[in-house]
Amino acid sequence: MSETRSSFTADLHGKVALVTGASRGIGRAIAEAYAAAGARVVLAARKSEGLEAAAEAIRQQGGEALAVPTHTGRPDEVETLVARAVDTFGGIDILVNNAATNPHFGPILTAEPSHWDKTFEVNVKGYFYTARACHPHMKRRGGGKIINVASIAGVRPQPGMGVYCVTKAAVLMLTEVLAAELASDNIQVNAIVPGFIRTRFSRVLWETPALHDAIVQQIPQRRMAEPEELVGLALFLASSASDYMTGAALPIDGGLLIGYPSMPLP
């Protein structure tokens, strides 16, 4: 019997993808991967710093990219973002909700109301606003993909990150609710659940030796990941290969959530 091998290759030609938090880190890595797979990409981030540079890097590789500075916690700016995407590229097929913030670090009872408001504004409401704005355009094109970047912090409490944890838990439920309600429009909604990724957002965790060492001891693979290691899953969820998957939350965490003890085996 001959051995048959197959490999997954995402083909996003003809698709338009909108990625928030795309100026650096996970968002930029995903946007670059989508462009390389043939999609025209719209990059959004609150600050213009780095955003146009990310778009230009895609163009230099032969891709099509539009940079739109956007505060996703403000519905009027989200509507403008989506309108520009549609005016420029004709529609939207893929949405990656990735923009996030975490202004409070410490015991949750020390969080101020402003910390709660800002974190929910971006991490939860921002995801909702962009999904709502993209929905009619996806429906008009016969379907689409919404990919919410959640976190293991939404599954397991992380010290000093209580407010952030609560918002990421909300993202997981938002994913399920949207998946159920948008299924009839042929829109699949899934979540990527990253573990500890080496990004500017998490810099304090990997630049502080004591924190870094404590974290990696909990990870069976004994390391943090690079943003590019999330790209394969993001491509799968954006492609037709995931057409029968919706409402799923997929961890990519080096095994952290399985909770395997760090003691050596005999």
Catalytic residues: 164
DSSP per position, 87-137 = HHHS---EEEE--------B-GGG--HHHHHHHHIIIIIHHHHHHHHHHHH
Q: What radius of gyration, in Å, describes the C-alpha atoms of the chain?
A: 18
- Spatial CA neighbour of 68 closest among 131, 60, 86: 86
What distance in Å separates the CA atoms of residue 107 and residue 163, rounded to the nearest whole number?
Answer: 9
What distance in Å separates the CA atoms of residue 46 and residue 23, rounded to the nearest whole number?
Answer: 9
What distance in Å separates the CA atoms of residue 17 and residue 148, rounded to the nearest whole number?
Answer: 13
Take residue 7 and report the two structure tokens written for it: 């490999």
